[in-house]
Amino acid sequence: MSKNKSYRITLTTFWIFSMMNLATFLSNRQWLPFSKWIDAIYSPLYKLMFGG
Amino acid sequence: MNHTINRWQLVLIVISFIMGSSLLMAPNLTAFFSGQDAWISMIIAVIIGLILNVTWIMILKRYQFRSIFRITEVAGGKVVGTILNILIIFFALHLASYVVRNLSNFMISNVIPESSPWTFQIMIILLAVYSCFYGLNNIGRVNEFLTPFMILFFICSLALTTNQFRFSHLQPFFEQGMLRISQGAYTTTGFPFIEIILLGSVLTYVKNKNKLSKNYLAGILFGGSALILTVFIAVGVEGAYMVKRQSYPTYELMRDISIINIFERVEVIIGVVWIFGILVKIVICLFTALKGLQHLSKFPNYHPFLLPAGLLIWALSNHIHTNSMEFTDFVGRNWTLWWFSLYLVLLVVLGIGILRKKDKNLDQTADDSSQ
């Protein structure tokens, strides 16, 4: 199996992203608050649609 | 790794995907807004879900049901395609983590309150990783064997509650008004009818693609009908007030089963049906993410990504929300719009690809399904 450049980049980036999330969870920090970001984008739209 | 499945296995995967996690939560999510009209909300959600999926499957058909990761690159070009593929991978892993969290929330609030959520999270993720290690055919066959039993358990459990069904609990119809009914339908449209677009990565592995669209839509219709029936019976037996108050009304509903004081406390049967559906859903999400990563890395298989993906799902499932109330509130408000955004972006890019006749240029020889 040839381990090309795309493979190395994808696997390394994915490991880093996974470990960042794991560290965020284990240290009980909010470094990557995806839910808050999603909420910030969609809550105003939801309020517009249904009034809260 | 064998990824090939047949059309019957696909139909059963679609049914498990639809029923998994929604089966226990749908009555509460709809009744919270539309009260005794929750079943009307559910019917509207199924109709909207079918319309969205008819459009989706027609577009995939134009691209000869190739892998979604390949189609996006063909339609949008290298840069847009790669960005979209990363987005799909994130959505798949994010969904998997929510489903894992859903399971642990349920287990510690209803089944074994003294246990740790990590126990259930780690066990289900290990099972999903193990299943993906052996390929899609593995979960396809397990699902083919178990789903008929699960459907039988589900129908029997619902049938045993009908002696307590009160038609008056559903009346008066349309009392909540169309805005509240639409709000109830909104919550269950994304969850699970838009999420199922992830099966775009699975359709390419179906052996005989004749009538594939009909099979896919039949699966959605069956799963949707099961949800309508569940909401209808849950509200009819327990009443809208109780359904609104409970996080898992279907499970509570089964607690009411009592036949001559012998056949009691059988609610765990519906829990088993639900957990199995959840496993299928997690496997499909993980499989989609892994195939996306394999596509990005141009590697012959996805095995090197199994461990980091499992760890990421576990980490995400724990740090996305601090408690189950925040979790349910978030899902109710944002989930449909969040998934609809992905659906819309994909639809626009693939639609533009069709207008630019990119669907005719798919290379017939290089196919992901061979991997």
Please report, in tens digits, the pLDDT of each residue of chain B (371 residues total).
789 999 999 999 999 999 887 888 888 889 999 999 999 999 999 999 999 999 999 999 999 999 999 999 999 999 999 999 999 999 999 999 999 999 999 999 888 889 999 999 999 999 999 999 999 999 999 999 999 988 898 888 888 888 889 999 998 899 888 999 999 999 999 888 999 999 999 999 999 888 999 999 999 999 999 999 999 999 999 999 999 988 888 888 888 787 777 777 778 888 888 899 999 999 999 999 999 999 999 999 999 999 999 999 999 999 888 888 888 889 889 999 999 999 999 999 999 999 998 888 776 544 454 44
> Which member of A6, A18, A46 has the closest CB to residue B297?
A6
Which residues of chain B does A43 touch, with a Cβ-Cβ cutoff of 8 Å?
Answer: 333-334
Instruction: Count the Cβ atoms, other than its own, within 10 Å of residue B259.
Output: 10
Which residues of chain B does A42 touch, with a Cβ-Cβ cutoff of 8 Å?
Answer: 333-334, 337-338
pLDDT class of A52 with cuts at 50, 70, 90:
low
ipTM of this predicted structure: 0.93
* Span between the terminal Cα atoms of chain B, in Å: 8
Split into its structural domains, chain A has a count of: 1
Contact across the interface for A38 and B338, Cβ inside 8 Å = yes
Smallest Cα distance from A44 to chain B, Å: 10
pLDDT at A2 (0 to 100):
56
Which residues of chain B does A39 touch, with a Cβ-Cβ cutoff of 8 Å?
Answer: 330, 333-334
**CB contact residues (below 8 A), chain B span 249-268, against chain A:** none
pLDDT at B97 (0 to 100):
95
Closest Cα partner for B196 from B3, B8, B19? B19
Full domain range(s) for residue A21: 5-50
- Domain boundaries along the sequence of chain B: 7-355
Q: Is B155 on the interface with A (CB under 8 A)?
A: no
Contact across the interface for B315 and A45, Cβ inside 8 Å = no
Give the separation between CA B294 and CA B312, rounded to whole angstroms. 16
Contacts of B59 (CB under 8 A, 6+ apart): B347, B350, B351, B354
Contact across the interface for A35 and B330, Cβ inside 8 Å = yes
Give the separation between CA B53 and CA B218, rounded to whole angstroms. 11
pLDDT at B369 (0 to 100):
47
Instruction: Count the Cβ atoms, other than its own, within 10 Å of residue B121.
Output: 20
Contact across the interface for B305 and A14, Cβ inside 8 Å = yes
> Which member of A6, A11, A34 has the closest CB to residue B320?
A34
Report strand pairing: B258-259 vs B263-264.
Answer: antiparallel
- Asked if B31 and B243 count as a contact pair (C-beta separation under 8 A), the reply is yes
The domain made up of B7-355 has a fold known as Amino acid/polyamine transporter I (1.20.1740)
